[in-house]
Structure 1
Amino acid sequence: MRREPGSGAAERPDAETRWPMAAAVIVAMGLTVVLPDDLRLGRPWMLPVISGLLLLALLAGDPGRISRRTTELRVASVALISVLSVGAIWSTVQLVDDILDDGRATDSAGELLQASASVWLCTVIACALLYFELDGGGAAARAERMPRSPDLAFPQQLNPGVAPDGWRPHFIDYLYLGLTNATAFSPTDVMPLARWAKAVMSLQAVTSLAITGLVVARAVNVLR
């Protein structure tokens, strides 16, 4: 396994644990399984199996804390997030199509709420993982050294006086960013500075707004 420059085999004490990120991936895998067949990409087992194998590869290659920087781990992490993102995009497009065409996956209030909530949460998790992986070169790179010019500016970075020395964003911070961006449809306390961050946050806000608006309109027709 080839190491990137600056990588080390020993765990860094300030590196974050991988388990919150792994838990989010497992939740996304479960949400994919319970989605209606019309809204899911492939068979019920396909995306969870692929995601599970990639997650196991990450846990085996860098267990405990995220501290090793290697090409193989980076590829596995990007592949995992890509699989979840493609699945979320596919489900979102199919949900919108089903709502507009009065499809069977959303023809009752219960099915509509379950399907839309599952798709919405999948998009939140996928975007949180994207922020987590791309900001500052990833968690292992952030553990080694925070970039002088961040891609995403957290309040603790803009005002160091409110944070302890050596503060670094962890996965829960990116999950909070994904959740608030999906509910407020705009930045709240985290400012996107890099172009990729602005693009992802814009896409997430538009997607969340479309899902919310269409679900409300569909719910009015279903409950009428």
Structure 2
Amino acid sequence: MDEAKPAWRRRTKAEHRWPVVLALIVLGTLQWYLPDRLTPGPRWLFPLIEAVIGVVLIAANPVRMRRDTPRLRMLSLGLITVASLGTVWTVVMLIRDIVSGHDTGSAGQLLATGGGIYVMNVLTFAVWFWELDRGGSVARSLGSDPYPDFLFAPMTSPDMAHQDWEPWFADYLYLSFTNSTAFSPTDTLPMTRGAKFGMAAESAIALVTAALVVAKAVNALG
């Protein structure tokens, strides 16, 4: 009987760790190369903290996401919390610089910084969505929670998707990218208040950042 259920509602093979690791490496690298004025403390501080926590998590689940304990769960949430604080700080400092008329460099430099922050925003919320949906990757592979935080298209049209389909990190990355670009849900619906708040926060950050950066860059070119 269990095999008749879609994969996202039953116990399945654990998800690979490497896509999330790659996303966090890119996020840490972008934080490292930000201008000093946009970073909280030394530019290496947040990437170093993220790297240390990441090594512990990789040691616990080096290939696939199989082990889950309260401590590992706290570390996982702590890692993305640290990354989020770095992203939020950067956005706030950039907005402050633009609004106050601080020197933000040439139009090209400003657009490069804005583009980096845009990617940071997408990656940060992709990891958040991946971590929170139905309790995280390990909980999803166990099929312990039948109520999703995000309703993906294959869930609403099971006849149009393979029976073994289930959301992995690439799906949450796509969700984050489209939400940050369209400033609204596209093909994936938020089902819980936490999911709605996360998508709203990401859209707000993307909208404010894009509007201010583009306006400032156009003004600089003029």
TM-score higher than 0.5: yes
- Length-normalised TM-score, structure 2: 0.92
Contact 2:12–2:143 under 8 Å retained in 1: no
Deviations 1:147-168 (A, max 9, x none): 3221100001111112222321
Q: Structure 1 CA distance, aligned partners of 2:27 and 2:121?
A: 9
* Alignment correspondent of 1:201: 199
Q: Which of 145, 148, 156 is 1:147 aligned to? A: 145
Contact 2:12–2:142 under 8 Å retained in 1: no
- Length-normalised TM-score, structure 1: 0.91
* Alignment correspondent of 1:70: 69
Count of aligned residue pairs for this structure pair: 212
Q: Structure 2 CA distance, aligned partners of 1:40 and 1:162?
A: 46
* Alignment correspondent of 1:125: 123
* Identical aligned residues as a percent: 42
How far off its partner does 1:125 sit?
Answer: 0.7
- After superposition, residues 213-224 of structure 1 pair within 5 angstroms as 213-224=211-222
- After superposition, residues 35-184 of structure 1 pair within 5 angstroms as 35-104=34-103, 106-145=104-143, 147-184=145-182
Q: CA RMSD in A?
A: 1.2
Contact 1:143–1:168 under 8 Å retained in 2: no
Contact 1:66–1:140 under 8 Å retained in 2: yes
Deviating 4+ runs (over 4 angstroms)? none
* Alignment correspondent of 2:8: none
Q: Structure 2 CA distance, aligned partners of 1:146 and 1:191?
A: 21
Deviations 1:137-182 (A, max 9, x none): 0000001116322110000111111222232111111011111000
Q: Mind listing any 5+ residue stretches in structure 2 that lack a counterpart? A: 1-10
How far off its partner does 1:216 sit?
Answer: 1.4
Letter of the structure 2 residue corresponding to residue 109 of structure 1: A
Give the number of the structure with larger relative contact order, counting CA–CA contacts within 8 Å between residues 6 or more apart.
Answer: 2
Q: Mind listing any 5+ residue stretches in structure 1 that lack a counterpart? A: 1-11
Q: Structure 2 CA distance, aligned partners of 1:59 and 1:162?
A: 35
